[in-house]
Amino acid sequence: MSLRLFITSILASIVLPAASGAMAQVTMSQHQAQPRPFWGTMTGEVTFVMSSECSTQPVQTVSTNEGRVSHLGNSTLTTAHCASSDGTQAIDGHAIFTGANGADINATYTAHTVAASAQVIVQEGELTIIGGTGRFQHAAGRVPFTVYISPVSPPTLEAKWPVRFVFAGTISY
């Protein structure tokens, strides 16, 4: 083998893998920054708990839900928020989506009532994704949602109201 061929083959064996690794890293980071669809439907129940977290009401609205969410599969959703003094707005809301594998997506939210009757309360709002665990550690996104609540009793500490969340937006991670 000539000296020139020998040097060329050594340089190729060093430079090409390094260059392809750098390209793969750039491609991976570009892929992660892209917004992806985030959607799902969850059903569960709303309860009311005594809380010092809320300045406008003595109780906090809490929900526990199950369903299927993109990027997490079968999941649970827990929410907690304060209500405005007239009860028509959800304020200071916090939500945690937990996938079957234990990964979490954390969000804050607000919502407002768009329709209310004795049979159903409809609220619309927006989740702001603020991180999570594992691959969602630096997640971000905005997810509009609609929630349907069936007020089957007065809002007492013993009340358990059926609820259904429907949401569709984007997440980047």
Report the CATH number that the domain containing residue 166 is assigned in CATH.
Answer: 2.40.160
pLDDT digits (tens, 9 = 90+) for 66-125: 999 999 999 999 999 999 888 899 999 999 999 999 999 999 999 999 999 999 999 999
- Same-domain check for residues 94 and 76: yes
Same domain for 101 and 166, yes or no, is: yes
Domain match, 56 and 23 both: no
Please indicate, yes or no, whether residues 24 and 105 belong to a single structural domain of this protein: no
First to last CA, the chain: 49
14: containing domain: 1-33
- Cα 26 to Cα 3, 15, 31: the distances in Å are 35, 17, 8
Report, in angstroms and rounded to the nearest whole number, the Rg of the chain calculated over CA atoms: 24
Say if residue 60 is in the same domain as residue 17.
no
Residues 64, 15 share a domain? no
- Render pLDDT for 16-56 as a digit per residue (tens, 0 to 9): 555 445 444 444 444 556 999 999 999 999 999 998 889 88
Domain tally, the chain:
2
DSSP codes, 18-74:
HHHHHHHHHHHHHHHHS-EEEEEEEEEEEEEEE-SS-SS-SEEEEEEEEEEETTTEE
